[in-house]
Amino acid sequence: MGRLNVNLCGIELDNPIIPASGTFGYGYEFAEFYDINCLGTFSFKGTTKEPRFGNPAPRIAETTGGMLNAVGLQNPGVEKVISEELPKLKQCFHKKVMANVSGFSEEEYVYVSSLLDKEEQVGWIEVNISCPNVHGGGMSFGTDPVQAGKITKAVKAVTTKPVIIKLSPNVTDIVSIAKACEDNGADGISLINTLMGMRIDLKTRRPIIRNVTGGLSGPAVFPVALRMVYQVAHAVKIPVIGMGGITCAEDVVEMMLAGATAVEVGAANLIDPYACKKIIEELPGVLDNLGIENIREITGGIING
């Protein structure tokens, strides 16, 4: 066991670095750049029951310290993910992968989760109840503790693998939602998804994104993510995966001090395809500089007062 190893819901990871869903495709796209087996694991593209083309373009906009996206869960549907995407992934990634599940109803979450749970290469089910870029689903389940708990309980009833619930920051009280998920059987919590935002084209006076609003990610959201991870990690007993604006090894250490067991790296992958590889390579040196022997020791190690 190395100094970067962490245990996530009973599964050992070589390191805590996990590319976030929607920023890493199905893995094999990035395998063209480097050996992705250096990763702890990764969360593949959000998967729904039926194929989705996603939202109309333009659906990406740059902004200070980050980017807005309203891709809208574009994916080929769960059956094709299982029959086409996972076999291609297996050729280049030899560890357990995190399956990200999205839906527009309780029944859809249950259906997709039950199918992916049967796949040998899937280690965790990450249930996204926090996508702000689709209508009639996604975030609507993640803004109410009762609904969040209901989805958690329903998915847990049809799965055998650890279920991690991905939460939205677009709420007043994220702790109550996290606790509802824990009370209904969640094995872990991941947060945060993107913050809702928008941009306007000054010449046309129209929203830059066709969907009008999009999800803000990137370094601008890091302090918000850090605060929410800290709040949730100190309120629940299950592992927390922290994400939101992580760009370097120092950010990883800061997020883990706040209470994260592992971290997901999102927007950074879209700027630099080698982002996660570089962070993993930088981590030992950062730990040395801070006098940290083993990265597992720092989870929740923030000193208050």
- Residues annotated as catalytic are 131
CB 3 within 8 A of CB 287: yes
Q: Which of 146, 104, 102, 108 is nearest to 125 (CA)?
A: 102
**Between the CA of residue 154 and those of 21, 114, 137, what are the distances in Å?**
22, 10, 16
Distance between CA 231 and CA 170 in Å, rounded?
15
H-helix segments, 140-262: 145-156, 174-183, 222-233, 249-257
- Listed in sequence order, the residues at least 6 apart from 146 whose beta carbon sits closer than 8 Å to its beta carbon are 180
CA angle 109–114–117, rounded 5-degree value: 120
The two structure tokens encoding residue 55: 């939202």
The pairing of beta strand 122-128 with beta strand 163-166: parallel
Backbone conformation region of residue 243, classed left if phi is above 0, alpha if psi is from -120 to 50, else beta: beta
